[in-house]
Amino acid sequence: MLAQQQSVLVTEHNVAQANTPGYRRQEAKLASNPAYAPPGMNRPGGAGQLGMGVSVERIYRFNLEFFDQRFRKELAGAKQWGSYEAALQQMEASLAETSDDGVNARLDAFWEGWQALNAEPTNTAARADLRQRSVMLTDSLNRRAEALIQLRSDQNAAVVQSVSEINDLAERVAKLNGEISQSLAAGAQPNDLLDERDRLIDNLAEMAGAISSRQENGEEIVSIGGHALVVGKESFALQTSPDPANSNLAAITWSDGSGLNGNNGSLYGLLNARDTAIPNQQSGLDTLAATLMNQVNTLHQGGYGLNGATGLDFFTGSDALSVRVNPVTEDLANIAAAANPNAAGDGSVAGQMAGLQHLKLLNGGASTMNQFAADQASSLGLDVAQASKQVANHELLTSSLAEQRESLTGVSLDEEAANLIKFQRTYQAAARLINVLDEMMETVINGMGVVGR
């Protein structure tokens, strides 16, 4: 009766935990008790040994470490590409190259403004229109540069937060290691503690590609990129500090001063976006802005305005964030369109400005400024597509492994209901047997009289 009762309690626990993340179903393993009075040299043999019933040998926890390792590896890959894809998608939305405010569209409008001024160099409206188009172009470059800087800052904040969460998880795993090893040494089976530790290690794998190895005493050694994160009851913290060589963004090191290695998990996706993808776009935008400024300023300095002004820069600044239309052009007469002084009808410099559109000045003489901007947008689009494909591939494998793991370790309410009925019927039969034995003893004690009476 007691064995069946404990089996019912284990089933009840399974049902209660059916929706608990990371829970592994349990089963009461029954075993026969040692038989009574085995035959011996000084004891006559009988028909056989007398069975002494059943008891719960242990509470078995369904688990398969091989599946855990494979699942965690694919989960780490999915999360790495997932965080990288999310950053690229935010960057793609911020740059918005397919909109009317795209850099290419603003460049086209800028060239058209110079072409119009070439046709009518003395037209004040054409000069005002050109300046407005130029301001819209610089504003477009400024906004994109600011968006990339902000996005990189957001990624950095996410990196710092991830490191803090990893340290917290490591401390909890180390604490559970102590509790589990102590419980196992006392002969207990800490199944729920094992579930909680496995769930935390899953989280560490998801965030940083952590791998684990179980020791004989039940403790887990957890490592990231070949460096120990948890050993026994001790955890080794990661730390962040400003890196002057990387715009004072957070550099991640271990408490012993060594750098963080590895290439899996959401943390590495954040780092890849922060330190590679976003800087590549920033560099491309700055290169485009610098080329535009240098070429336009060179021509403008050699030209003459309606008032004879010469040697003036059309743009100020040094990169995409700082580029501005020179305030001196607010006096529209200072915009240089002529190649010679006192030549009001001369628009040859304006024509040269418009011709910059067709010069292959970038990518080693292979691309015009418009083509370069388009290539930057296309490259980002390809990166997003590749990341999305990698996410889909890893998620497919992760889902498949998760289903296989769940089929072994998960709780099936139908199966538990069937087990509950089985244990209930067995308990009732055992209770009925005790009633029968009780009736037999009552007959022997109370129902049998004394011989001769």
pLDDT per residue over 116-175, tens digit each?
999 999 999 999 999 999 999 999 999 999 999 999 999 999 999 999 999 999 999 999
- Residue 41's pLDDT band, with cuts at 50, 70 and 90, is low
- Determine contact, residues 89/409, Cβ cutoff 8 Å: no
Confidence of residue 49 (pLDDT cuts 50, 70, 90): low
Mean predicted lDDT score pLDDT of the chain: 90
* Cα–Cα nearest to 357, from 369, 365, 366, 348: 369
Please report how many Cα atoms fall inside a 13 Å half-sphere around the Cα of residue 109, on the Cβ side: 18
Flag whether pLDDT at 46 surpasses 60: no
d(CA 393, CA 386): 11
Confidence of residue 442 (pLDDT cuts 50, 70, 90): confident
Confidence (pTM): 0.84
Which among 350, 324, 309 is positioned nearest to 123, based on CA atoms? 350
Band of residue 427 on the pLDDT scale cut at 50, 70, 90: confident
Give tens-digit pLDDT for 79-99.
999 999 999 999 998 888 877
pLDDT above 90: percentage of residues in the chain: 64
CA dist 227 and 210 (Å) reads: 10
Q: State the pLDDT at residue 6.
A: 87
Structure tokens at 6: 């404990």
